[in-house]
Amino acid sequence: MKAVFLAAAATIALGVASGAAQAGPTLDAIKQRGFVQCGVNTGLAGFGNPDSAGNWTGLDVDYCRAVAVALFNDPNKVKFTPLSAQQRFPAIQSGEVDLLSRNTTVTLTRDTSVGLNFAPVTYYDGQGFMVPKKLGVKSAKELSGATVCVQSGTTTELNLADYFRTNNLQYNPVVIESVDEVNAAYFAGRCDVLTTDASGLAGTRAAVAPNPDDHIILPEIISKEPLAPAVRHGDDQWFDIVKWTVYGAIAAEEKGITSKNLDEFLTSKDPEIQRMLGVAPGMGGALGLDDKWLYNVIKKMGNYGEIFERNVGVKTPLKLERGLNALWTKGGMQYAMPFR
């Protein structure tokens, strides 16, 4: 009943929003205000979560900070607005936030009728399955008759139903609202299979499982979940800034530029590096920013690889591999457009 109401309310909300007038140039408003308003998750480990002292950390959070650095050369000139899944789109539509960096999957309807413009993908994810090793299951195709723990109200639940129907498999869903309780149900043996985004499975196995080696993640990835920051329709300049901040971090990794060795590249002969770091002017000006914008971003936040490893990488409790998020030169899909 609640879900029906929320869905109805969201539909009305979207209808209202698509008719709403667009704000003036976002960049001017932000500069005048002195900080970027960024919508983040109310708590998703490694992507957007407050630490013990209440400071925001995570991959999505670092992109908010990166945009703030591009504008103000200060990663703290951000006001984080934690948003629930239902709130996130109205918040960006109504102008409550300038930037939505909240593990949001890019889809056609969100790009169109919801009124969002998606920056490049910062994390390629997809839904997978985890099972206890002792079941001896090697493929999701062998899961017929299984009891599956799944979080309610997510696309995960729908993908699960689709996948089992498509493959003519029977299953019993155990649907639970909170992600922690879903995990607990799985580890308590209430179900045979745990399903959520692969990143979540890996993190759960590494950080929550009593013994990580007792569980395996099956090879099937049953959905595409490209997660990207988004801005609202109607301000192309602001969209460009967010977009190229994401590209900039990837491009820096492609060129081997890190926050540590950044200054050595200031004397680089590579014309693209010169343009990126503002040694050769023009790029920043085209975006309406200082020519040093990307230099500052890399100095303060690091390149894509550094952001990834710091928040979710193998040295963190989440222990995520780069996988699809490796550079295109290393078998992944992260690819920056040319800085020219």
Partner 1 sequence: MTGTVENTAPPAMAEERPPVATVGPLAWVRNNLFNTWYNALLTVLIVWAVLRVVPPLVDWLVIKAHGFGAPPQECRADLGGACWAFVAEKLRFIMFGMFPYDEQWRPLLVIVIFIALLGASCDRRFWHAWFGLVWLAGLAVVGVLMWGGVLGLTPVENTYWGGLPLTLILSVIGLAVAFPFSILLALGRRSTMPAVKAICVTYIELIRGVPLISLLFMASVMFPLFLPTGVTVDKLLRAQVAFILFAAAYMAEAIRGGLQAIPKGQYEAADGLGLSYWQKMGKVILPQALAISIPPLVNTFISFFKDTSLVIIIGLYDLLGSAKAALTDPSWRGFYREAYLFIGLIYWAFCFFMSKYSQRLERDLNRSRRH
Residue of the chain from 180, 264, 270, 321 that contacts partner 1 (CB under 8 A): 180
| Contact status: 213 vs partner 1 (CB under 8 A) | no
256 within 8 A of 273, measured Cβ to Cβ: no
Nearest residue (CB) to partner 1, 17 versus 249: 17
> Measured from the CB of residue 315, what is the shortest distance to partner 1 in angstroms?
11
Amino acid found at 227: L
Q: Which range binds partner 1 by CB under 8 A, 52-60, 107-115, 223-231, 293-301?
A: 52-60
| Contact status: 153 vs partner 1 (CB under 8 A) | no
259 within 8 A of 253, measured Cβ to Cβ: no
Residue of the chain from 266, 317, 328, 331 that contacts partner 1 (CB under 8 A): 317
Per-residue H/E/C for 282-299? CHHHHHCCCCCHHHHHHH
Residues in the chain: 340
> Measured from the CB of residue 42, what is the shortest distance to partner 1 in angstroms?
5
| Contact status: 99 vs partner 1 (CB under 8 A) | no
Q: Which range binds partner 1 by CB under 8 A, 78-86, 167-175, 215-223, 290-298?
A: 78-86
| Contact status: 183 vs partner 1 (CB under 8 A) | yes
The CA-atom distances, in angstroms, between 114 and each of 28, 74, 109, 117 are 24, 31, 6, 9
Interaction residues for partner 1, span 14-43 (CB under 8 A): 16-17, 20-23, 29, 42-43
Q: DSSP string spanning 34-87?
A: TSEEEEEES-BTTTBEE-TTS-EESHHHHHHHHHHHHHHS-TT-EEEEEE-TTT
> Measured from the CB of residue 29, what is the shortest distance to partner 1 in angstroms?
8
Q: Are strands 99-100 and 127-132 parallel, antiparallel or unpaired?
A: unpaired
E strands of 95-188, at which residues?
99-100, 116-118, 123-125, 127-132, 146-151, 171-176
| Contact status: 189 vs partner 1 (CB under 8 A) | no
> Measured from the CB of residue 191, what is the shortest distance to partner 1 in angstroms?
17
Helix (H, G, I), strand (E, B) or coil at 246: helix
Element of type H or E holding 227: strand 225-227
Residue of the chain from 31, 33, 96, 138 that contacts partner 1 (CB under 8 A): 96
Residue of the chain from 25, 28, 50, 135 that contacts partner 1 (CB under 8 A): 50
Residue of the chain from 54, 136, 189, 338 that contacts partner 1 (CB under 8 A): 54
| Contact status: 154 vs partner 1 (CB under 8 A) | no
| Contact status: 217 vs partner 1 (CB under 8 A) | no
Single out the residue of 236, 340, 248 nearest to residue 300, CA to CA: 248
Nearest residue (CB) to partner 1, 82 versus 323: 82
d(CA 38, CA 119): 14
d(CA 151, CA 154): 7
Helix (H, G, I), strand (E, B) or coil at 245: helix
> Measured from the CB of residue 202, what is the shortest distance to partner 1 in angstroms?
12
Residue of the chain from 208, 217, 279, 327 that contacts partner 1 (CB under 8 A): 208
| Contact status: 2 vs partner 1 (CB under 8 A) | yes
Footprint of partner 1 (CB under 8 A):
2, 5-6, 9-10, 12-13, 16-17, 20-23, 29, 42-46, 49-55, 79, 81-84, 86-87, 90-91, 93-96, 178, 180-181, 183-184, 203-204, 207-208, 210, 312, 316-318
